[in-house]
Each structure stands twice: as structure tokens, then as C-alpha cells.
Structure 1
């Protein structure tokens, strides 16, 4: 099957960017699992919002996943949603974060640790400097939403600690409408939730 050279080039750039981003996640800190590989409960009275994105190049769309858990690890809310085609994994992650923060604020959460596994995106969101990149307007949107919260902290975690959000983002491949769960564990992410609970 012959494919358009522009499509192949764009996909090659996306794969290269994803590879480069993953290299920062491969550092091993001592023996056993690194702390940043494990989902941890947030401080008391604060909620942890994990988000992730999946790029479905062949379907020309993305998937967004988000889960909010309390200090006991209980699921407070979760989301699996479809998104538009993107030009990079950074764009997908920023859009996923924006969708996740909108979801959290709509659900009434105002004190959040916002956590994802893309270090470039989390650095951009944590910075107080103006973002002049092509994706700066999306990063600014996320920061504006975050300013409306009572308390917020951006945090980066490795993929191993973001399994539930990843499963929810992957699930978006199979849905035609956004799916939300409130105070209920998403059945499709039960295995990932169980794996996290073993480490608490």
C-alpha cells in the first residue's frame, strides 16, 4: 500500500518526538521501581488528576483520558473522550490536559495535583514565562483554567504511574461520544487501578 509522502514524513516526526520524550523516562534511580513510576495518593483534602493522550493516526483523531482520585486512592471521577487530529504528541498531551482540567472544574474539584507523563508539557505548564511556541495558546488556556482553582500543583510522573489515564485515553479509540464516570471506577481501567492499589 503506497502512502502519501507528507503523511509518512509527519508520522516519522511524531515517532521521533515520542522516542525523544520517552528517553527522559528511561533513567533508572537505584534498584527496584523508581518512586516516580508509582501512582501516589495526593495530600489530605487534595485530589490528584491524572491525564493522558493517545494519538490514533490512522483514524485521524486523538483520545483523552483523565481520572481524579482522593488521598485514599478512591476514584472520584473519570473521563474518556475523543479529540481532533494533532501534529505532535506534545499537542495531544496539552489538549488532553486542557480537557481534563475543564472536566475537573465542571465536576466541582478546586484543589488538584495535575499529573501527566509528558515532561515537556508539564515544564511548559509549570513555567511562569510566556510561551511563544506554536502551542503556547493551549498552554495559556490550561494555566488560565488552573488559576481559577483554589490550589493547584503540576507534577510529572513516568508512564508506569499513569496507567489508568493511559487506559482511558486508549479507550477513546472505541467510542463515538465522551464517557464520564462519577464516584465509580471505569470497568475498562480496573486492572490498572488494581495495579496502583497494590503499591499503596
Structure 2
């Protein structure tokens, strides 16, 4: 699967943390301007105690996934405002997660076109569905140019919301 030259794709990512903190999940969805699924990922992560760490790790994994899948023009959307603001901040981040934010900015520098945008949780339903599903799998699952079954309902709701 190759990304089309000059087309800008939208990548949504999310993390889900289990109540008992035994695992986390990462969900990533990349769509074209018509809302069609180009690539999606569900990945089980290690135990994480706080949502900021889970979200910033999810963003880094989403960026790596997009690069590996051949995307170079992206608008990246996430629903954790702290994470999204930290990624675009020009200030050096000396926090415990600063090196991960640096990794994300470094990955973004490899892109031809890159924007980061914060979205409401309600606008991130597909990625959230994939992240929740990921907590219960043992190996990463990737879908290319097909709608991921764990997110069909969320994709349908998105299509109604945008009128396609």
C-alpha cells in the first residue's frame, strides 16, 4: 500500500489503560480526505499508570506506524490536550516524558507535511475503539485499506457525523 503523493492523510491515535493497570492498548487509524481507511493498528502495550504517559507513548507508536506504512503528509489528532500541547511546544521539556516528546518531534521532522491537532474525545472514537480492543490481544494487528472490525460501529458513527 502506498500513500498518494501530495495527499494529506489524517491520523488519529488513542491509548486505553486497563483499570487494574495490567496492560494498555494503542489504537491508530489513518484515513484519506474521503474518510476511507488507509491503515489501522491495534497494539497491546505494557502496564502504564497514568494517561499522559499512555497517550504520549501511543503518539510515538502511531508516528512510527505511519512512517513504516509510507505516509509522509499527515495531520495527527489526539484527544489528550496536555500531550498535544507538549508536542507542539517550542520549549524544552525536562519532565520524565521529555525524551518521548523529543522522539515524536524527531519523527515529525522526517515527514514532508506534519500538523498536530487536539480533538474532543467524541471525535476520536475510532482510535479509542481500536485502543480498547488492543488491551485484549497478544500481538499487534494491522489493517491495510480495510475497515478494522473492532471499530466498525465507530466508523459508521463518524460517517454519519461528517455526512458521507
Q: Tell me what 1:139 maps to.
A: 101
**Corresponding residue to 2:130 among 168, 172, 178:** 168
What does residue range 25-104 of structure 1 map to in structure 2 within 5 Å?
45-58=7-20, 60-104=22-66
**Corresponding residue to 1:179 among 141, 144, 155:** 141
**Range that drifts further, 147-156 or 51-60:** 51-60
CA distance in 2, matches of 1:177, 1:59: 18
- Structure label with greater radius of gyration: 1
**Corresponding residue to 1:109 among 61, 71, 74:** 71
CA distance in 1, matches of 2:33, 2:83: 25
TM-score (norm 2): 0.93
The alpha carbon displacement at 1:177 in A equals: 0.3
Q: Which consecutive aligned stretches of 4+ in structure 1 deviate over 3 angstroms post-superposition? A: none
**Corresponding residue to 2:84 among 122, 137, 143:** 122
The structure carrying a bigger helix percent of its residues is: 1
Report the 3-state secondary structure (helix = DSSP H, G, I; strand = E; otherwise coil) of the residue aligned with 1:58.
Answer: coil
TM-score (norm 1): 0.76
Q: Deviations over 1:136-176 (max 9, x none)?
A: 01111111101100010000001100000000000012100
CA distance in 2, matches of 1:165, 1:128: 27
Matched positions, count:
157
Q: Tell me what 1:35 maps to.
A: none
Report the 3-state secondary structure (helix = DSSP H, G, I; strand = E; otherwise coil) of the residue aligned with 1:162.
Answer: helix
CA-atom RMSD in angstroms: 1.1
Which is bigger in relative contact order (C-alpha 8 A, separation at least 6)? 2
- Structure 1 unaligned blocks of 5 or more: 1-43
Report the 3-state secondary structure (helix = DSSP H, G, I; strand = E; otherwise coil) of the residue aligned with 1:130.
Answer: coil
CA distance in 2, matches of 1:137, 1:57: 26
Q: Tell me what 1:23 maps to.
A: none
Q: Deviations over 1:50-92 (max 9, x none)?
A: 0000011425221000000000000000000011122310000
